[in-house]
Amino acid sequence: MYLFIYRGLFNDGFTKDSKGARRKLRRKGKPKKSSLDGRSVFKNTSKIEDRPIEAAKRTEIGHWEADTVIGVQGKSCFVTLVNRKSRFLLAKKTPRKDSNSVKEAIIHLFSTIQQSNLKTITSDSGLEFMRYKEFSNARGINCFFADPYSPWQRGTNENTNGLLREYLPKGQDLTEVPDKSIDVFISKLNLRPKKCLGWKTPYEIFYDKVLHLI
């Protein structure tokens, strides 16, 4: 449905305006960027359609999606990693949105995850992910790339980033957000029951534990 709305194939039923339907979305999505923004510059990378079937069908824990969440341009950002099956979120603030900072954040975040749960990671082809071979080798995880301007191919991460925005609105300077507050926001999302998980939490699915939430 989102794909039809973004492509202007679905109107709002009242104005007959295809853009009207998009304006009514809870999250409006990212504007399409210039073809000169650096995307599609990676060569000989593994495409999203080459991922194992287990990743596409969410049948096992070890498959992840990666993205960044920015605040004020040129300042701190978040690197977010979301597990496709469980929707479990890992996130870390970095000084800036550059390839070295993103690489270091991914290596750090995955250091907390056992190796059997690190099978694949899928990101877009933004320049911040250009050092993918380094974090792939460091953590023994296979990297795949979504098609340019196709956020729905990483919908799990896009949706989770939108939920994170409820605590950290667009335009907020993330540099000023304390790490303890970030940990609280991540914990709240990982302990939020989801309909798609049978009303279990991402934490319960990821760690195969039952929590007694009050």
Q: What is the pLDDT of residues 49-70, one digit of tens each?
A: 999 999 999 999 999 999 999 9
The domain of 65 spans 51-207
Q: What is the pLDDT of residue 33?
A: 47
Average pLDDT over residues 85-106: 96
The vertex-147 CA angle with 121 and 129, nearest 5°, equals 45
Do 15 and 94 share a domain, yes or no? no
Q: Is residue 34 part of a domain?
A: no
Q: pLDDT value at position 44?
A: 76
Nearest by Cα to 175 from 76, 86, 92? 76
CA–CA–CA angle 133, 137, 143 (5° rounding): 55
pLDDT class of 14 with cuts at 50, 70, 90: very low
User: Are residues 101 and 12 located together in one domain of the fold?
Assistant: no
How confident is the model over 98-127, as a mean pLDDT?
Answer: 97
Look at the block and give the residue holding tokens 């991540």.
186
Nearest C-alpha neighbor of 77 from the set 173, 191, 205, 153: 173
Shared domain for 102 and 1, answered yes or no, is no
Confidence of residue 11 (pLDDT cuts 50, 70, 90): low
Task: State whether 156 and 59 are in the same domain.
Answer: yes
* DSSP labels, 87-137: --EEEEEESSSSHHHHHHHHHHHHTTS-GGG-SEEEE---GGGTTHHHHHH
Q: Are 68 and 158 members of one domain?
A: yes
Question: 186 vs 4, which has greater pLDDT?
Answer: 186
pLDDT score of 174:
93
Contact 76, 190 (CB under 8 A): no
Residue 78, domain member (yes or no): yes
Q: Is residue 212 part of a domain?
A: no
Q: What is the reported pLDDT for 43?
A: 72
Same domain, 92 and 177: yes
The answer on pLDDT for 147 being more than 80 is yes
Please check whether residues 124 and 198 belong to one and the same domain.
yes
Could you tell me if residue 4 is inside a domain?
A: yes
By C-alpha distance, which of 67, 73, 74, 78 is closest to 181? 78
Same domain, 21 and 100: no
**Does residue 65 form part of some domain?**
yes
Q: How confident is the model at residue 210 (pLDDT cuts 50, 70, 90)?
A: confident
Q: What percent of the chain has pLDDT over 90?
A: 72
Q: Are residues 147 and 80 in the same domain?
A: yes
- Statement: the pTM of the whole predicted model exceeds 0.95: no
pLDDT higher than threshold 50 for residue 21: yes
Q: Which residues contact 161 (CB under 8 A, 6 or more apart)?
A: 67, 69, 80
Residue 132 lies in a domain: yes
Same-domain pairing of 21 and 68? no
For position 20, what pLDDT does the model report?
56
pLDDT of residue 72: 87
Mean pLDDT, to the nearest integer, of 10-37?
51
Residue whose structure tokens are 């000169």: 36
Looking at the structure, do residues 56 and 130 belong to the same domain, yes or no? yes
What per-residue confidence (pLDDT) applies to 73?
A: 85
In a domain, 121, yes or no: yes
What is the model's pLDDT at position 188? Answer: 97
Q: What is the CATH number of the domain that holds 119?
A: 3.30.420.10
Residue type, 126: G
3-state class (DSSP) for residue 212: coil
pLDDT at 114 over 90: yes
> Is residue 91 assigned to a domain?
yes
Domains identified in the chain, total number: 2
In 3D space, the residue among 133, 143, 152 whose CA is nearest the CA of residue 51 turns out to be 143
Statement to judge: residues 89 and 179 lie in one domain:
yes
